[in-house]
Structure 1
Amino acid sequence: MPDDPRDQIGPALGKVTLPEREHSPWWQLGMRLMAALAILLGTLLLVYVERAGYRDGNDPEHNYQVDLVDALYYTTVTLSTTGYGDIAPVSERARLVNAFIITPARIGFLVLLIGTSLEVLASQGRDQFRIARWRNKMSDHVVIIGYGTRGRSAVDTLLNNGYTREDIVVVDPSAVALADARSDGVAVVTGDATRREVLMRAGVTRSSQVIICTGRDDSSVLATLTVRQLNPEVRIVVAVAEHENVPLMRQSGADSVITSSDAVGRLLGLSTLSPMLGSVMEDLLTYGEGLEVAERDLLLTEVGKQPQSLPDQVIAVIRDETVYRYFDPVVSQLARGDRLIVVRPARELPWAPRPGTHDEDSSVDEG
C-alpha cells in the first residue's frame, strides 16, 4: 500500500521536479523591501541626473530648478502614483525616461508592495482553510507525542503497515522535531503535550491510538494522564526509560508500556551470551528484512486447527482480549475470532496473508 494516496496517481511523464528552497517569511519580506528600495534609489538617481529637464512650478526663487530634495520628492510621489503635478518633466529626454523607465519602475514598485500584502493575506487564509478542513476530517487517527528517534521509528512502522501520512499527527515542542516531521510529510502540532489545549488541537478526543515517547518519564506520565482524561477510550502506548516507572505509567492510564532501557540491555546481553541469538532478535525488531513479528486474523480455513499446524510460526493467540502462549491448553484448538501473533518472512507470501491485502475470509464476524 502506498504511503501517500497521491502515489497512486503516478508521476507525469517527462516532468522535471526541482527541490524548493524554503525561506522564512521575514527573509521574503526583507528581500521585497530591498527590491522596492532599489527601485526607489534607481528612480531618484535618474531624476537627479536629468534634473535639468524638470521644472518645479512652486519654486520661482530658484528659477524653477530641481535639486536633490526635489528629486527625492518627485520620486516618492511618482512611484506611489500620488502625482501632485508641481514638479514635471519638460524636456523631451526627461519625458522619454518617464515613459519608458520610470513608469515600468512605478508598476514594479506597486506590485512589490501590494503583492506582499495580498500574499500574506492569501497565505493566512489558505492556511486557516486547510487547518479547518483537516480538523473536520481528522478522526480515528494516531497521535505521536515526541518526534525523536523512537517517534520517527513508530511513524515508519505505521506507514509500512498500511497507515497513511494523513492518519498521523505529531505533537512536539521542538523546532527541530517540527522541521523533521514536516519533511516527513506528517501533520504537526507544536506545543507541550501535557497541556490540554495542545492535545485538543491534535484531535486526541477523536483519535484511536496515542503513542507517547517524550524521552522523559515524568513528562510521559503527565501526558498519559491528560490524554486519558480527554479520551477515556483511546489506546495509549508509552515508552519509558526506567522499568521502575512501568507500574506508575499503567496507573496513569497506559494500555501498553515499553521499557526501552530494559529492551536495549536485554539485546546487549543476548548478543554477548549468544551473538547469533542477538542477531535473530534484532532481525525480528527490524521491519522489511528477514523475519518479522506480526498480528493477523485467523482465517476460516484455520478454525479448529492447532496453532503448531499452521504455515505461520504461531507464538501466541489472542482470545477475548487475553494473550495465550501457543502451547497453552486453552488455545489447543483455534476458534472463530482468534487473532494470531506469528513469526514469518518479512516478504509477504501467499500462505502468510496480511489482513486486508488478500481476499481470504477472516474468521472474525463482520457487522
Structure 2
Amino acid sequence: MKFAFIDRDVLPSFKRLFVAVSLLLISFLTGTSFYYLHEGFSLVDASYMSIITISTVGYGEIFPLSPAARLFTSCYIVSNLIIIAFGVSTLTSYLFGGEVNKMLNRYKMNREVKRLKDHVIVCGLGRNGIKACEELARAGTPFVVVEANTEVLDTFPYNIGSSIILGDATMDHVLIKAGILAAKALITTLPSDAENVFITLTCRELNPHVRVIARANEESSEKKLMRAGASRIVKPDTLGGYHMAQLITKPVVIEFIDLLSGVTNVDMQMEEIRYENIAQKYRNLTIKEMDVRNMTGVSVIGLKMPDKQFNFNPSIHDKIEEHTTIIVIGSNEQISTFNKKYCN
C-alpha cells in the first residue's frame, strides 16, 4: 500500500481555491452594486464595468464617472490586482504544485481504506505507535494510522507504507473512516490514559468484536481500560524497567527473547498458525504424524487450546485439534516453507 494522507475532510483541500473564488465573486458584486446604485448604470453596464476593471484589460469608461466613482475605481483596481495575484498563485499551485494529485490520492486512498477488511488501526504516532507500525509492516499486516497532530508526522518512517487519517481518534466518524467496522484489531498508543480509555469505549461501541490493545501509563488506568473493553493492556514504562533489570539478572535469556522478537538482525522468528489455516489433510494429526521438524526445519514450541493454558514444549503425540493455535520457531526460510507445505 502506498503512503498517503487522508485529511479530516475533503473541503480543507479546497480552502485556498475557495477563498480565491469567493474574493473574486465578492469583488464583482461590490463593483456591480456600486456602479448600479451610485452611478445609475444599468445592471448589464454595471456588470461589464466591473469585469473590465477586475480584469484590467484597459478598456475606457463606458460612461463618464463622477469624482467619487473615479476614486472608488482607483481603489477597486488596486484591490483587484491583489485578488487576481492571489487567485493566479492559488490556481498555479493546484495545477503545477501537485495539489490536484494530492486530492486524487486522497480520494483513491479513501476508497482503498473502505475496501480494507481484517486490518489494524493504530491510533497515535509516538515512539510506541511507530514501532507498532514497523512490526505490522514487517509482518505484512494491512493497517491504517490515525493521528491528530500533523507535526508528529515528520517522525513517521515513510518507507513502511500506510494510509494516515488526520483526525481525532476519539471521534466516531474518524474511526469509521479508518474502517473500524471491518477491522480486526485496534492499537491505541496515545500518551493520555483518558484518551486511550475513551477510544477503547468508542471502539467497543462501534465494533464489539474488534480486539483492542491499549497503552497505559498509570497503574490506576489498567482497570479502567479493562472495564472499557480493552483486550490487552501494555505498560511501556513497566516493561522497559523489567527488561532492563533482566538484562542484568538473565542476560542470555533476554538476548534469546530479543532474537525471537526481531530486535536483532538474526534470521530467526516465531510464528503462530491457527487451526483453520492448516491444510485439511494435516488437521487432527499429531505433531509426530505431521513430521514438521523433518519436512521444514521449524520446531513446534507451544500449543494454545481455547480456554486452556499454553502447552509449552508439547509432546510429539499431542494432536492438532480444532481451534488450536500452533507456535513454531525457525528461520524466515523455514517458516516460509512451513506455510507453503502445511497451510492453505
Show the 5 A alignment for 1:202-213.
202-213=178-189
Higher helix share: 2
Distance 1:194 1:277, change over 3 A: same
Within 1, Cα distance between the matches of 2:168 and 2:313?
45
Read off the aligned partner of 1:294 and give its amino acid letter. Answer: E
Read off the aligned partner of 1:282 and give its amino acid letter. Answer: D
Q: Which runs of 5+ in 2 are unaligned?
A: 4-12, 18-51, 62-83
* 8 Å CA contact 1:295, 1:339 repeated in 2: yes
Pairing 1:320–2:306 present: yes
Q: Which has the higher contact order (CA 8 A, sep 6+)?
A: 2
Larger Rg: 1
Within 2, Cα distance between the matches of 1:245 and 1:112?
51
Q: Which runs of 5+ in 1 are unaligned?
A: 6-24, 30-76, 87-109
Show the 5 A alignment for 1:132-211.
132-163=110-141, 167-181=142-156, 183-184=158-159, 185-211=161-187
Pairing 1:277–2:260 present: no
Please name the residue that 2:329 is paired with. Answer: 343
Within 1, Cα distance between the matches of 2:263 and 2:307?
25
Read off the aligned partner of 1:281 and give its amino acid letter. Answer: I
Please name the residue that 1:334 is paired with. Answer: 319
Read off the aligned partner of 2:271 and give its amino acid letter. Answer: A
Please name the residue that 2:108 is paired with. Answer: 130
Count how many residue pairs are aligned between Structure 1 and Structure 2: 265
Within 1, Cα distance between the matches of 2:2 and 2:201?
33
Show the 5 A alignment for 1:1-367.
80=55, 82-84=57-59, 113-114=87-88, 116-117=90-91, 120=94, 123=100, 126=104, 129-130=107-108, 132-163=110-141, 167-181=142-156, 183-184=158-159, 185-243=161-219, 245-286=221-262, 289-290=265-266, 291-297=268-274, 300-301=281-282, 303-305=285-287, 310=293, 311-320=297-306, 322-327=308-313, 333-337=318-322, 338-345=324-331, 347-349=332-334, 352-353=335-336, 358=340, 360-362=341-343
Within 2, Cα distance between the matches of 1:268 and 1:292?
22
* 8 Å CA contact 2:301, 2:314 repeated in 1: no
Within 1, Cα distance between the matches of 2:313 and 2:158?
46
**Per-residue CA shift, 1:98-131, capped at 9, x if unaligned?**
xxxxxxxxxxxx9995573376497386366335
Distance 1:322 1:194, change over 3 A: farther
Q: TM-score, normalised by structure 1?
A: 0.59
Within 1, Cα distance between the matches of 2:194 and 2:337?
37
Computed over aligned residues only, the root mean square deviation of the Cα atoms, in angstroms, reads 4.1
Deviation at 1:354, TM superposition (A): 6.6
Distance 1:274 1:182, change over 3 A: closer
* 8 Å CA contact 1:194, 1:223 repeated in 2: yes
Helix, strand or coil: the match of 1:353?
A: helix
Deviation at 1:187, TM superposition (A): 1.7
Deviation at 1:309, TM superposition (A): 7.9
* 8 Å CA contact 1:242, 1:262 repeated in 2: no
Q: Percent identity?
A: 21
Please name the residue that 1:12 is paired with. Answer: none
* 8 Å CA contact 1:296, 1:354 repeated in 2: no
Deviation >6 Å, runs of 4+: none
Deviation at 1:323, TM superposition (A): 4.8
Deviation at 1:81, TM superposition (A): 5.8
Within 2, Cα distance between the matches of 1:344 and 1:188?
33
Helix, strand or coil: the match of 1:320?
A: coil
